[in-house]
Amino acid sequence: MKVIIAGAGAMGSRFGLMLHQAKNEVILVDGWPEHIDNIKKDGLKANFNGEEVVAQIPIYHQNEVASVDFSADLVILFTKAMQLDAMMKEIKNMVGTNTKVLCLLNGIGHEDVIKKYVPLSNIILGNTMWTAGLEGPGKAKLFGNGSIDLQNLGEDGRDATEEVIACLNKANLNAKYSGNILSSIYKKACVNGTMNGLCTILDSNMAGFGETDVADAIVESIVSEFAAIAKMEKADLNIEEVLTQIKSCYNRETIGLHHPSMYQDLIINNRLTEIDYINGAIVRKGKQYNIETPYCSFLTQLVHAKEQILGAK
Ligand code: NAD
């Protein structure tokens, strides 16, 4: 397939590399000049499960793609949530009438942005358990295994979605069709909507927060707000299952000693966060449905205050 990775940071590099290794025609589109320059000069470098690899994959700055002739079969979106609209605008001439657009960003409501540029029948929503990191511009750190659940947004997109699944699976990306993608998106958003913001504000790893005697009460209050919105959106959310998954993050033997990605973005790398697309999305939808969301609202405000105190960019 001819594939555009729109947003070639940590996750985009993983997907770009694995699809390139599986002999797809891949191009990367990104907005970080230093990263783009390094990949143009030396190729995309990665520590891939302990092995140092280099792949020569074409990469373009998103502000230069208007003149690039590449009619893609598939666009995989991997910007940060706040970069999505600008990216969609800049790649729109590469999105043809048959181009499928797969969104794998964390967070809620990205379809509202994508719908402005792509017909519903070409949009695929997904949720991925793959992870990735960047060691620096041009170099990714890719460890472990993952999976992807995906579903077409429009009713008539199933066959095309199965083709995308086959393409991803040829690259060992473990994709499968989901009959209810919104549920898995909301489930993951609950984990991100608790661990990310709370550990960032409290300057704690997940175990440290989880072992406080107020952790359960705070997490249950936040999850109940997500569940109320999920219900309005017809996303089936099993609260007990969600709470069990969140509590599993506290385990010191597994991932409890890690700081979640928002902590790394803001506290370590001084970057703006995706809070507006996780807890902030619940606040916006709460207003729409007339549902109170005080915990999500307060956490969103606290994270924005922290971004401003630290001068995050
Ligand atoms: P990322 O920050 O690595 O990349 C996103 C964009 O930011 C890219 O365009 C990248 O070039 C740019 N960028 C990265 N570091 C930068 C820096 N220091 N200065 C300037 N620009 C920089 O994001 P990601 O981790 O690939 O995540 C993309 C999406 O996937 C997000 O919605 C995220 O929540 C989601 N996600 C991430 C993971 C993960 O393990 N990283 C897992 C699942 C989902």
Q: Give this complex's ipTM.
A: 0.99
Q: What is the mean pLDDT of the chain?
A: 97
- For residue 25, pLDDT beyond 90: yes
Domain count, the chain: 2
Are residues 161 and 187 located together in one domain of the fold?
Answer: no
Q: Is 188 a catalytic residue?
A: yes
> Half-sphere exposure (CA, 13 Å, Cβ side) for 290?
0
pLDDT of residue 236: 87
Among the three residues 148, 177, 206, which one is the final residue of a domain in this structure? 177
Mutation choice for ligand 1 from 4, 5, 14, 32, CB with most ligand atoms inside 8 A = 32
Q: How confident is the model at residue 226 (pLDDT cuts 50, 70, 90)?
A: very high
* Residue partners of 199: CB distance under 8 A and separation at least 6: 205, 206, 208, 209, 259, 260, 262, 263
Among protein residues, the one whose CA lies closest to atom 10 of ligand 1: 9
Q: How confident is the model at residue 48 (pLDDT cuts 50, 70, 90)?
A: very high
Instruction: Report the percent of the chain where pLDDT is more than 90.
Output: 97
Mean pLDDT confidence for 133-139:
97
- Using the mean position of ligand 1's atoms as its centre, give its distance from the Cα of residue 33 in Å: 14
* Residue partners of 53: CB distance under 8 A and separation at least 6: 17, 45, 46, 47
- The pocket around ligand 1, CB under 6 angstroms, is made up of 7-12, 30-32, 35, 78-81, 105-106, 128, 131-132, 134, 261, 269, 274
pLDDT of residue 152: 97
β-strands 100-103, 25-30 pairing: unpaired
Among the three residues 115, 142, 177, which one is the final residue of a domain in this structure? 177
Are residues 132 and 51 located together in one domain of the fold?
Answer: yes
List of long-range contacts for 266-272, beta carbons under 8 Å, 24+ apart:
266/200, 266/303, 266/306, 266/307, 266/310, 266/312, 267/200, 267/203, 267/310, 270/310, 270/311, 270/312, 270/313, 271/312, 271/313, 272/80, 272/82, 272/307, 272/312, 272/313
Among protein residues, the one whose CA lies closest to atom 41 of ligand 1: 132
Among the three residues 162, 177, 192, which one is the final residue of a domain in this structure? 177
- Using the mean position of ligand 1's atoms as its centre, give its distance from the Cα of residue 32 in Å: 11
Mean pLDDT confidence for 127-151:
97
CATH number at residue 266: 1.10.1040.10
Q: How confident is the model at residue 83 (pLDDT cuts 50, 70, 90)?
A: very high
Are residues 144 and 94 located together in one domain of the fold?
Answer: yes
- For residue 192, pLDDT beyond 90: yes
Are residues 173 and 188 located together in one domain of the fold?
Answer: no
Which structural domain range is residue 219 located in? 181-310
Among protein residues, the one whose CA lies closest to atom 17 of ligand 1: 32
Exposed, middle or buried: residue 176 (CB in 10 Å: 0-12, 13-18, 19+)? exposed
Mean pLDDT confidence for 188-205:
98
**The residue type at 302:** L
